[in-house]
Amino acid sequence: MLMTKPEIISKLKDILLIADSGNADKINAADENTRLMEDLGLNSVNVLYLVIAIEEVFNIRFDDETGVDTFGTVGDVADYIGGKL
């Protein structure tokens, strides 16, 4: 399934909204330069949900040494997903 980076980011934002609906304004305004921890304030529970949801939605598996917490920005995650698709 080939997707453009903007399409991947849009799906990521949908996942983030489910993981942290109280942060909807920041998530909706996010772009590829938005930092996951600093700008969106993701905590360990949000990160765990995000990893699981990304694997299910995009039908990919994160490498054992790679997790969302190793990425700095939304764009970093989108690039990783794009490379796995």
Mean pLDDT of 17-31: 90
Token pair of 42, please?
A: 């993701």
Domain residue limits, the chain: 5-84
Q: Please give the pLDDT value at position 31.
A: 96
pLDDT of residue 27 exceeding 90: yes
**What three-state secondary structure class fits 64?**
coil
Q: Please give the pLDDT value at position 69.
A: 62
Q: Please give the pLDDT value at position 21.
A: 81
Q: Which fold does the domain 5-84 belong to in CATH? A: 1.10.1200
**Share of the chain residues as helix, strand and coil, in percent rounded to the nearest 5:** 60, 0, 35
Model confidence, pTM:
0.88
**Nearest Cα residue to 74 out of 6, 2, 4, 1:** 6
